Amino acid sequence: MKIDRQAFSWAFYDWANSAFATSIMAGFFPLFFKQYWCLDVPVSTSTFRLGLANSIGSLVVIFLAPLLGAMADQAGAKKKFLFFFAVLGVLMSGGLASVGQGAWLTASAFYICGIIGFSGGNVFYDALLVNVATPATSDRVSALGFSLGYLGGGLLFALNVLMTLKPSLFGLADAGAAVRLSFLTVAGWWAFFTIPIMLWVPEPLSPVSRMRQSMVVAGFRQLYATFKEIRRLRVVFLFLAGYWLYIDGLDTIIRMAVDYGMALGFDANGLILALLITQFVGFPAALVFGRLGEKMGTKKAILLGIGIYLLVTVWAMFMDTISEFYLLAVAIGLVQGGVQSLSRSLYSRLIPAGKSAEFFGFYNMLGKFAAVIGPLLMGLVSLLTHSPRLSLIAIIGLFVSGGIILCLVNEQEGAALARQMEADG
């Protein structure tokens, strides 16, 4: 099965915005936050502040995502909303370069708005999957997006790391100047590679948009209707419940891994290298998982990834050396993109295509709600116990409970109901 230009153009948005996820969210922001914006602040306090910033950004998306999705479906405006949030993320990423030493509140504000741009854009990016892939190709196209995200984000991150290790090669005064320049490169990268999805991904005009009715009023009405539909659709409800739990553990590891390693006393350069390992292992692994979903079944492949994540989390509780952190980075890279991409493609087959944005609004809402609980829980446990290792027990519980609920999801039943709903209009 070939993947056409529309699908590649869609997938390249992952290449674009993954620069924020790697260079800022997972990489330099946690390091700079601790060492520059929270200078001379206890480790437990800076961890709590970082967790709080992640949680606030995600909390805003929780309230916005379902309504925005319903509005976009009513107006046929997924690409317009995606463009708005992409611009927000680009401006906030570049803005971090101007924040001075010790200004952790200002840095947090830019970061929170950047998370809103990143996460809000993903609501509409995910919803456009049904416009470029069929049920037969959705696993592979979704995996292509994540694999390009790992590769693109990893390439820019590698350049940014080189800038911080060898600032003189780039005419920079020191590593701090290199990090600030890295924030600007993320903004430029994100902006430039958003162009393909805006130019070449189709979005049929909805009849409602031609009627020019109020998008907000229609959005609220559709949001209420969608909520009732999800409650009635047992398979979708079960999937979202399980997804909410296991994606909590996954997203928390992504956002807090560097902070956790620093709390254990590992060298910052070593932690950055581990992130690079995850990115470049994740590129081919996500593609392999796309094929694996086609061969063994999407749900089984997701459960395999969750099981590996569970083992990795248990191992992380007892690790003592940076070499173990590297091995964990390899293991995470093997399954991270696969769990994310196959979850997205499985969900796309359980929902009616004509209501993809609003259903993906709930999907992303749950993902971001998980991103509120996980980082905040890690920060609170670290603050109260002064032991970051203990906070991982909660993540283990999330993977176990999420995997159990996912086992109850009947993919064939859900796909049949989605087709019936689409036929009924």
Task: Write the CA distances from 359 to 69, 260, 406, integer angstroms.
Answer: 7, 34, 18
| Confidence label for 400 from pLDDT (cuts 50, 70 and 90) | very high
CATH number, domain 5-198+216-424, options 3.40.640.10, 3.20.20.450, 1.20.1250.20, 3.30.2270.10: 1.20.1250.20
Rounded Cα–Cα distance for residues 270 and 292 (Å)? 32
Q: Percent of the chain scored above 90 by pLDDT?
A: 34
Rounded Cα–Cα distance for residues 392 and 311 (Å)? 12
- Residue written as token pair 């916005």: 64
Reported pTM? 0.76
- For residue range 179-226, what is the model confidence (pLDDT) as tens digits? 999 999 999 999 999 999 999 998 876 554 444 445 555 556 666 666
Q: Identify the pLDDT of residue 425.
A: 57
Query: Does residue 209 contact residue 201 with C-beta atoms inside 8 Å?
Result: no
Task: Kindly calculate the radius of gyration of the chain based on its CA atoms and give it in whole angstroms.
Answer: 20
pLDDT, the chain, mean: 84
Rounded Cα–Cα distance for residues 112 and 281 (Å)? 28
Q: Percent of the chain scored above 70 by pLDDT?
A: 85
Q: Identify the pLDDT of residue 212.
A: 43
33-42, 139-148, 370-379, range with the lowest pLDDT = 370-379
Is the pLDDT confidence value at 413 over 60? yes
Most confidently modeled of 72-76, 142-146, 252-256, 302-306?
A: 302-306
Q: How far is CA 235 from the centre of its chain?
A: 23
Section 4-27 average pLDDT: 92
Q: Identify the pLDDT of residue 54.
A: 79
Most confidently modeled of 108-122, 274-288, 333-347, 351-365?
A: 108-122
Q: Identify the pLDDT of residue 219.
A: 55
104-118, 229-243, 341-355, 364-378, range with the lowest pLDDT = 364-378
Q: Is 108 exposed, middle or buried (0-12, 13-18, 19+ CB in 10 A)?
A: buried
Pairwise pLDDT comparison (2 vs 188), residue with the higher score: 188
Pairwise pLDDT comparison (95 vs 58), residue with the higher score: 95
Residues 6+ apart with CB under 8 A from 335: 285, 289, 304, 305, 308, 309
Section 356-372 average pLDDT: 70
- Assign 85 to helix, strand or coil: helix
Q: Identify the pLDDT of residue 391.
A: 74
- Alpha carbon dihedral 274, 280, 83, 139, in 10-degree steps, equals -120
Structural domain spans, the chain: 5-198+216-424
| Confidence label for 4 from pLDDT (cuts 50, 70 and 90) | confident
Q: Exposure pattern of 126-143 as b/e (b: 16+ CB <10 Å)?
A: bbbbbbbbeeebbbbbbb
Q: Which two tokens stand for residue 312?
A: 């990795």
- For residue range 114-161, what is the model confidence (pLDDT) as tens digits? 999 998 898 889 889 888 988 788 888 988 998 899 899 999 999 999
Is the pLDDT confidence value at 402 over 60? yes
83-97, 177-191, 265-279, range with the lowest pLDDT = 265-279
Q: Identify the pLDDT of residue 209.
A: 46
Q: Identify the pLDDT of residue 119.
A: 86
Query: Does residue 244 contact residue 323 with C-beta atoms inside 8 Å?
Result: no
Pairwise pLDDT comparison (321 vs 356), residue with the higher score: 321
Reference 124, options 64, 41, 184; nearest CA is 64
139-148, 198-207, 269-278, 289-298, range with the lowest pLDDT = 198-207
Pairwise pLDDT comparison (64 vs 209), residue with the higher score: 64
- Assign 225 to helix, strand or coil: helix
Q: Which two tokens stand for residue 68?
A: 């925005």
Rounded Cα–Cα distance for residues 397 and 248 (Å)? 10
Query: Does residue 302 contact residue 343 with C-beta atoms inside 8 Å?
Result: yes
In a 13 Å sphere around the CA of 362, the CA atoms on its Cβ side amount to 24
- For residue range 386-399, what is the model confidence (pLDDT) as tens digits? 776 777 877 888 89
| Confidence label for 112 from pLDDT (cuts 50, 70 and 90) | very high
Is the pLDDT confidence value at 335 over 80? yes
- For residue range 232-257, what is the model confidence (pLDDT) as tens digits? 678 888 998 899 889 888 887 876 77
Is the pLDDT confidence value at 231 over 70? no
Q: Identify the pLDDT of residue 393.
A: 77
Pairwise pLDDT comparison (270 vs 218), residue with the higher score: 270
- Residue written as token pair 């061969």: 295
